[in-house]
Chains A and B, each alone.
Chain A
Amino acid sequence: MASDEELMARAAEGDMDAFEEVVQRNQQLALNVAYRFLGDPVLAEDVAQDAFLKILSGATRYEPSARFRTYLYNVVWHLCVDLYRRKRPGPLESPHERAHPDPGPAQAVLAGELHELVRAAVHSLPPRQRMAIILKHFEDMSYEDIGRALGCSPTAVDALLVRAKRKLKDVLEDRL
C-alpha cells in the first residue's frame, strides 16, 4: 500500500485519485483537530477542506522530510488560528445541541455536563495551548511532532501543556 507521502508525490503530478485517497485516509484527523479547536462542525469542515486544497496547491513544493500528517497538522493549525483571529468564535455548544438536549439517565446527564465543562474549558485556552492539548490528548502525538506542527521545541510544548493543564485543573477541580 502506498504511503501518504508517495500518494502526495503522485497528486503533485496531477493524479487526483491519489489526492482523494490521501483525503480519505486523513479526513477524520483533520476534522477532529479543527472541530476540537474551533468548536463548530461547519467551520471545522471548511478548515479541513481548505487544508487539503492548500496542501494540493503546494504539492509540487512538498518535501517529504517530515511525515505527511505532521505537515497536515501544521496547515490545519495555521488555518484554525487564522480563523480564530478573524472570527473569535463563541462558546463551543452547537445550535443542534442547544435545541436538542438529551435528558437521559442521571449519570449520562452528569457525564454530559462534565463533557460540556471540559469542552468549554479547553475552548477558553489561548490558541497555542489549546492546540497543544488537542494534539497531545486526542492525536497522541509526541512532543517532538507537536513541536514540528506548532513551530516550537519539545520543551516549549511541555511548557504549553503544563500551563494549559493548570488552567483546566483550576476550572474543573471540583468535578474531577
Chain B
Amino acid sequence: MVNCERTRELLNAYLDGELSPERRAKVDEHLRACGACTDVRSQWLRLNRAIGSLPGAKVPDGFARRVRQAAEAGRALRVGRMGRRVRLFGDALTRIAAVFMAVAGVAVGMAMGWTSAAANGHATASDRMESEGIALQTDMPVAMPEDSLSDVYLAFVIDEE
C-alpha cells in the first residue's frame, strides 16, 4: 500500500487516467482508507472541473476557404516572382563568384588600411618620445595619428608642456 505523500504525488496522473492498473489499484486502496487524501482528491477534481469549463473559440465564417486562398496566393506569388527558381549559392559559378568577391573585398580593405603617420610625414607624440629616449611599453599602435586621443595622451604623459 502507498503512503499519503506518494498518493498525493500520483493523484494528478490518477485523475487523468494515466496510471498503470497496478498503481491505480494501490492509490484506490489508500483512498479508501484515508479521509485526508480523499479530500485532496476532491479538491483536484473541483479544480479540473473549473478548468474544463472554459469556453473555446468560435470558428470564423469562411476560415477554411480563406486559408486555402492564402495558400494558393502564396504559391502563385512564389512562381510569379521568380519565373525560374534561382537558389542562392546553388550553382558552381555563383559560388566561385562569391568567393572571388570576398577575397577581393578583403584585399581592398587591407590595402586601404596600410597607412602610417611616418608615411604621412607627421611627427607624432610617439615619435617625440623616441627622440627623447623614452621607451613606452604599450599595446596601442606605436604610430598614432597626429592629434588623435592616443597622441594627446602620450603628449600629456611625456609632459611636453
Judge whether A60 is part of the interface by a CB distance below 8 angstroms. Answer: no
Judge whether A77 is part of the interface by a CB distance below 8 angstroms. Answer: no
Which residues from 147 to 176 on chain A have a C-beta closer than 8 Å to any C-beta of chain B?
154, 158, 161-162, 165, 168-169, 172-173, 175-176
Which size class do B's interface residues fall under?
Answer: 20 to 34
Interface string of A16-38 (1 = CB under 8 A from B): 10011001100110011011100
Contact, CB under 8 Å: B47 / A138: no
Chain B, interface SS category: helix
Contacts of B13 in A (CB 8 A): 143, 158
> What are 21 pairs between A and B in contact, CB < 8 Å?
A19-B68, A23-B64, A24-B64, A31-B57, A31-B59, A32-B56, A36-B54, A36-B56, A41-B58, A53-B67, A57-B74, A114-B53, A115-B53, A115-B55, A137-B48, A142-B18, A165-B47, A169-B43, A175-B50, A176-B47, A176-B50
> Known pairs A48-B63, A119-B54. 10 more at Cβ < 8 A?
A16-B71, A19-B68, A23-B64, A36-B57, A49-B67, A118-B53, A137-B51, A142-B18, A161-B16, A172-B47
Identify the A interface with B (CB < 8 A).
16, 19-20, 23-24, 27-28, 31-32, 34-36, 41, 44-45, 48-49, 52-53, 56-57, 114-115, 118-119, 122, 133, 136-138, 142-143, 154, 158, 161-162, 165, 168-169, 172-173, 175-176
